[in-house]
A and B are shown apart, each in its own frame.
Chain A
Amino acid sequence: EAGVAQSPRYKIIEKRQSVAFWCNPISGHATLYWYQQILGQGPKLLIQFQNNGVVDDSQLPKDRFSAERLKGVDSTLKIQPAKLEDSAVYLCASSSHRGTSGGAGDTGELFFGEGSRLTVL
Chain B
Amino acid sequence: AQSVAQPEDQVNVAEGNPLTVKCTYSVSGNPYLFWYVQYPNRGLQFLLKYITGDNLVKGSYGFEAEFNKSQTSFHLKKPSALVSDSALYFCAVRAPAENTGFQKLVFGTGTRLLVSP
Contacts and interface: CB of A to CB of B under 8 A. Distances in A.
Interface of A: 4, 31, 33, 35, 40-45, 48, 50, 55-56, 58, 91, 93, 97, 99-101, 107-115, 117
19 contacts: A40-B109, A41-B110, A42-B107, A45-B105, A48-B97, A55-B102, A56-B98, A93-B44, A100-B101, A101-B101, A107-B49, A108-B94, A109-B46, A110-B44, A112-B45, A114-B41, A114-B42, A114-B43, A115-B43
Contacts of A42: 90, 107-110
Given A91-B44, A101-B94, 12 more contacts: A42-B109, A56-B97, A56-B98, A56-B102, A99-B102, A101-B32, A107-B49, A108-B32, A109-B46, A109-B49, A114-B41, A114-B42
B69 interface: no
Given A48-B104, A108-B32, A109-B49, A43 B97 contact: no
Interface string B73-117: 000000000000000001000101110111111111110000000
B34 interface: yes
Contact of B34 (A44, A56, A99, A109): A109
B51 interface: yes
Interface of B: 32, 34, 36, 41-46, 49, 51, 90, 94, 96-98, 100-110
Contacts of B109: 40-42
